[in-house]
Amino acid sequence: MAFKRILLKLSGEALIGQKGFGIDQTRLSEYAQEIKSVYNSGCQIAIVIGGGNIFRGLQAEKGGMDRVHGDYMGMLATVINSMAIQSALERIGVPTRLQSAIKMEQICEPFIRRKAVRHLEKNRVVIFGAGTGNPYFTTDTAATLRAIEIEAEVILKGTRVDGIYSSDPEKNADAVKFETLSFDDVYAKGIEVMDMTAFTLCKENKLPIIVFNMNAYGNLKALVEGKKIGTLVTM
């Protein structure tokens, strides 16, 4: 096993699956099975998921809504997705804990770093909801911050493409895939891996990122086992 503790970052849009909006239960179940396969291998897993399938604060701002108000609504959307992932995992026998950056005592624990680490040590999957709890920060930044706090060895960013390309492979058939990139390469080439705040945090803390296709069955487990999948961004 290449990694003992990982942080898995998923986009909210990934949960849409074949639906136009919200949560596709089939896709949710597929992700839960993928995560369970890694859990069964003994790897400690933390998860951060976005909320774009339900609400995006930036889009709301473009429509005239106050940015701070919209961002808090987006944080609540991530909690809904986090609860969905939690339910799907527990339904197939994977113990979990959901921690939120915004206090919601009736449905989840508040984020406490020491408790999160202890849950991981007890082989529970820890899901972090509500982003950082602050407006103007994305879930990419939340994922990076939590990964650093729990001392994860890597951020695995699950997407619908199999790595980082020179341009959008869904729009440009000539796009070139990168097997590995340095943080400086990403800056120089102007490639968008994460938002700049999250990416800079990763660089400053020497936290590698692997971007991979989460929708290809078996990829997540293969990555944890050390196989070269997707694109590795490192020092």
100 vs 60: which has the higher pLDDT: 100
- Which one of 3.30.70.260, 3.40.1160.10, 1.10.10.10, 2.40.128.50 gives the CATH number of domain 5-234? 3.40.1160.10
Q: Kindly report the pTM of this predicted structure.
A: 0.94
pLDDT at residue 221 tops 90: yes
| DSSP letter for each residue of 107-174 | TSEEP-HHHHHHHHHTT-EEEEESTTSSTT--HHHHHHHHHHHTT-SEEEEEESSSSEESS-TTT-TT
Q: How many residues does the chain have?
A: 235
The pLDDT of residue 190 is 86
Q: Which helix (H) or strand (E) holds 180?
A: strand 180-182
Best-predicted range by mean pLDDT (121-125, 196-200, 231-235): 121-125
| Least confident span in 71-75, 119-123, 185-189 | 185-189
66 vs 29: which has the higher pLDDT: 29
pLDDT tens column, 155-187: 999 988 889 988 888 788 888 899 999 999 998
Taking residues 55-64, what's their average pLDDT? 72
Q: How confident is the model at residue 43 (pLDDT cuts 50, 70, 90)?
A: very high
Is 34 strand, coil or helix?
helix
The pLDDT of residue 213 is 93
Percent of the chain with pLDDT over 70: 98
Spatial CB neighbours of 174, under 8 Å, sequence gap ≥ 6: 167
Local structure of residue 19 (DSSP, 8 states): S
Q: How confident is the model at residue 28 (pLDDT cuts 50, 70, 90)?
A: very high
Spatial CB neighbours of 200, under 8 Å, sequence gap ≥ 6: none
pLDDT at residue 111 tops 70: yes
How far apart, in whole angstroms, are the C-alpha atoms of residue 8 and residue 48? Answer: 6
Q: How confident is the model at residue 57 (pLDDT cuts 50, 70, 90)?
A: low
What string of H, E and C letters represents the secondary structure of 185-217? HHHHHCCCCCCHHHHHHHHHCCCCEEEEECCCC
